[in-house]
Amino acid sequence: MSDLREEFQKLVDSGSPVGEVIAVQKFFVKVKGLHPISAQSIVLFEDGTRGYVRATNSEYVSIFTMSTVPVLVGTVVVKYSDQLTTSVGEELIGRVISPLGEPLDGKGPLRKLTQRPIFAVAPAIHEREALNELLETGVSTIDSLFPIVKGQRLALIGDMKGGKTTLAAQVGIHQKDTDTIVVYALIARRQGDIDELVTLLEKNGSLNSSIVIATTIFDSLVTSYLAPYVACAVAEYFWQDKDRDAVIVYDDLTSHAQIYREMSLVSGTNPGRDSYPGDIFYIHSSLLERAGKLQRNHRTLTALPIVLASGGDVTAFLPTNIISITDGQWILDAEIFKEGLRPAISTSLSVTRVGGRGHTSRQKDVAGRTLRAFSAYRQALEYSHFGAELSATSMNDLRIGTLLTSALNQLPGESYSLLAQQLLLELLLDSNEHTHLPEMGELKKKAESYAAKITAKSPYEDVLVSFKQLYGLKG
């Protein structure tokens, strides 16, 4: 803080525009003077506190302070910079930092960094390229049924304590053996949640390819509001400047929207639906539009925004907003979660609009057959509740549905290759009541071992025939 106070005096001595605080309401202050200055500029108060310019007019400048301690009326303010920037660089990999660039992991200061604006413009259409490369997650329900391609924006929606953060972490952990950088933006979370994620990443060896940018519920609302934009700028640095694929997890945009709502109401903005300001859609669409695939380097930035659906209501204002922006959504169902199934992805509500481009025609066929089998399973399950005698077809639907449900049940940390997933699903879909299958855990291991045999000389079809014959099925 003393360094910022010294910086304040240097800026005043150099002739930078200065002003005086004339009104204070929590973290929102009005300053007389400071002209010329524009919105999104950064100012410095004489006590070392930084501020973010919300708007300007001829009478005063509206500023949000980046501190939990309110400034006092009469405090002198000086212009610090024309735009808000963040520190970026290779040194951030494996670190936990605040949106202001301060280390939170006790691993020492960050030095060899450059600056990048956090409110960057999304790449234009002519700078982009069509998405077609599958982003493997190791999660069977996702990779086989609702795939995501690199550069896609796919929302993760569900009720509280439904496994949203854990699933997003699983996706990130699976990238540890690739060249992909995963950036986590944790917005106004409990310190315990942050520590839990960092511990999980360290345990699985993926922190060395990850960056965590976090704020707690005790941090300044303004700092938490800026967190996803800072995280996006960091991810863009690796994507656009270092030619590396990147994945960014926004956890979560519901907290971000609520923070922005409070900031807007305090600053006097007219409220709209659910008291959110009229530009709530814009702040999220402009953020998520920054993901995609660049034509010049063929690299991608994949966005995974997490959204809370209270009571499982995906038709609420914020979930529908995000759904209309993204290219699909994974819906986590609380009832499925209570049944002990992980991840609790609803196969009837989830959808991926462009993920199928990463599948081959055979993989698309398997996905279609699996989803139809689940639909028949749910129908047969409803019939069984009436206690009536079921037909042979319905009994078979129940059997296959039970097997598929068990096959797609994965605990955090479990990971399977896409080829192993395909072998297992095709085996179960083609099985009959006479097929003698081992316990599902053993069957998954066997599928993984057979998937490792697939080469140019031993194509998938040949290995599939051998795998089926192992359990008495014809290829």
Domain boundaries, the chain: 2-83, 86-359, 362-469
Lookup result for tokens 């302070």? 65
Q: Give the C-alpha distances (Å, rounded to integers) separating 338 from 163, 165, 167, 259.
A: 11, 17, 16, 30
Q: Tell me, what's the pLDDT at 19?
A: 94
Separation between Cα atoms, residue 441 and residue 7, nearest integer Å: 61
- Catalytic residue of the set 190, 353, 372, 378: 353
**Which fold is adopted by the domain 2-83?**
Elongation Factor Tu (Ef-tu); domain 3 (2.40.30)
Q: What is the pLDDT of residue 437?
A: 93
Query: Within 10 Å of residue 247's Cβ, how many Cβ atoms?
Result: 29
Instruction: State residue 386's pLDDT score.
Output: 72
pLDDT reported for residue 387: 63
Q: Using CA of residue 165, residue 170, residue 173, residue 179, what is the dihedral sign? A: negative
For domain 86-359, the CATH architecture is 3-Layer(aba) Sandwich (3.40)
The verdict on whether 399 is a catalytic residue reads: no
Cα dihedral sign for 290, 291, 294, 297? positive
Q: What is the DSSP string of 271-323?
A: B-GGG-BTTHHHHHHHHHTT-EEBTTT--EEEEEEEEE-GGG-TTSHHHHHHH
Specify the pLDDT at position 461: 94
- Contact assessment for residue 14 and residue 77, using Cβ atoms and an 8 Å cutoff: no
- CB atoms inside a 10 Å sphere around CB 139: 25
Tens of each residue's pLDDT in the chain, 475 residues: 567 888 888 999 898 999 999 999 989 999 999 989 999 899 999 988 999 999 999 899 999 999 888 899 999 999 999 989 999 999 999 999 999 999 999 999 998 889 999 999 999 999 999 999 999 999 999 999 999 999 999 999 999 988 999 999 999 999 999 999 999 999 999 999 999 999 999 999 999 999 999 999 999 999 999 999 999 999 999 999 999 999 999 999 999 999 999 999 998 889 999 999 999 999 999 999 999 999 999 999 999 999 999 999 999 999 999 999 999 999 999 999 988 889 999 999 999 999 999 999 999 999 999 999 999 999 998 887 776 677 889 899 999 999 999 999 998 888 999 999 999 999 999 999 888 999 999 999 999 999 999 999 999 999 999 999 999 888 6
59, with CB counted inside 10 A (0-12, 13-18, 19+), is exposed
Provide the whole-model pTM. 0.94
CATH dotted code for 362-469: 1.20.150.20
Task: Give the pLDDT confidence score for residue 199 in this predicted structure.
Answer: 95
Q: At what angle do helices 280-288 and 221-236 cross, to 10 degrees?
A: 30
Give the distance, in angstroms, between the CA of residue 215 and the centroid of all CA atoms in the same chain: 16
Phi, psi angles (nearest 5°) of residue 465? -60, -45
Q: Give the up-direction half-sphere exposure of residue 379: CA atoms within 13 A in the CB hemisphere.
A: 11
pLDDT score of 388: 66
